[in-house]
Every structure is written in structure tokens, then in C-alpha cells.
Amino acid sequence: MWCVLRVAGWVRLTGADAGNPVRIEANMLTHPDDLKAAVAGVQLCREIANAAPLRPLTKAEVTPGDLSSDELLGFIRNAAVSFWHHSGTAKMGTDDMSVVDGALKVHGIEQLRVADASIMPRITTGNTIAPCVVIGERAAEAVKTEHRL
């Protein structure tokens, strides 16, 4: 079971040298609604696994097991991982938190655009390849128009 969580994390440079690592703080599960969604996901998995048609195929719940509410929250916090389809690290918009504008140009840096999943404000419910193709096509059109190609 997986669910889409709001992650208001950040990525920062640790130094001016290109070889310096970046510092990434995901801030996973910091929004209360995300914890509620994760608990609901565990409960849904339990309902499915305990449904009559599946009873002959299951013996017992292995994980997380019979936990108190606080223990279940601890399990979720420790078991949650972020993988695949990362998006939203270079917000598109006009506010102070935005990185790129509607033409995918990076604010304050000339001749630099971002054209990948990082500009998406929310992850898609499906694979990110289709929206990434659209983003790439939009970037290509913007460059062609700007340079009269």
C-alpha cells in the first residue's frame, strides 16, 4: 500500500564548490493529514487481507501487527520511505518560494530552465513519465519561440 504524501522538504547547497554535497531534508509525515492518510492506508490493507475471499490464503498479520495507536504511528514513521517519482523540488509560480516561472525559467538566473518532474506542485497519481514529456515539450516550445527557431 502506498499513498501520496505532502512533503514540504528542502534541498540546500552546503558550499560553493560543485563537489560539495547537497543537504536534503524530506520532512516526511510532518503534516497531520499525512499521518492520517498513512494510518488509513494500513487499515485498508488490513481490511483487504482479512476479507473473506482472502482468509484461506493468509495465516496472520506479520507487520505491523497488533499495535496501540501510538505504536502504529511509530511504525509508520519508521517504515515510511520515499522512492520513485520524486517531484516538487523546484516549484513553479510567482511567490517567494517559487523557483521557476510559467516558461520554466529559473528566477534570477538567465538562460536556465528546469524541465522535469521537480516543477510539479503535486505528484501525479500515475507514473510521472507522461507529465514529464509534456513539461519537456513545453520547454522545447518555449526555447523555440524565444530564439525564433
Give the dihedral sign, CA 134/86/39/53: positive
Mean pLDDT of the chain: 86
pTM over 0.75: no
Q: Could you read off the pLDDT of 45-72 as tens digits, one per residue?
A: 999 988 999 989 988 888 898 899 999 9
Provide the 10 A C-beta neighbour count for residue 87.
19
- 109-142 per-position pLDDT tens digit: 999 999 999 898 777 777 888 999 999 999 999 9
d(CA 19, CA 41): 40
Contacts of 13 (CB under 8 A, 6+ apart): 20, 22, 23
Per-residue confidence (pLDDT) for residue 2, from 0 to 100: 45
pLDDT one-digit tens code per residue, 59-110: 888 889 889 999 999 999 888 877 666 777 788 888 888 899 989 999 999 9
Residue of 31, 85, 86, 107 marked active site? 85
The number of helix segments (H) and strand segments (E) in the chain equals 3, 2
For residue 85, indicate whether it is catalytic: yes
Which one-letter DSSP state was computed for residue 127? Answer: -
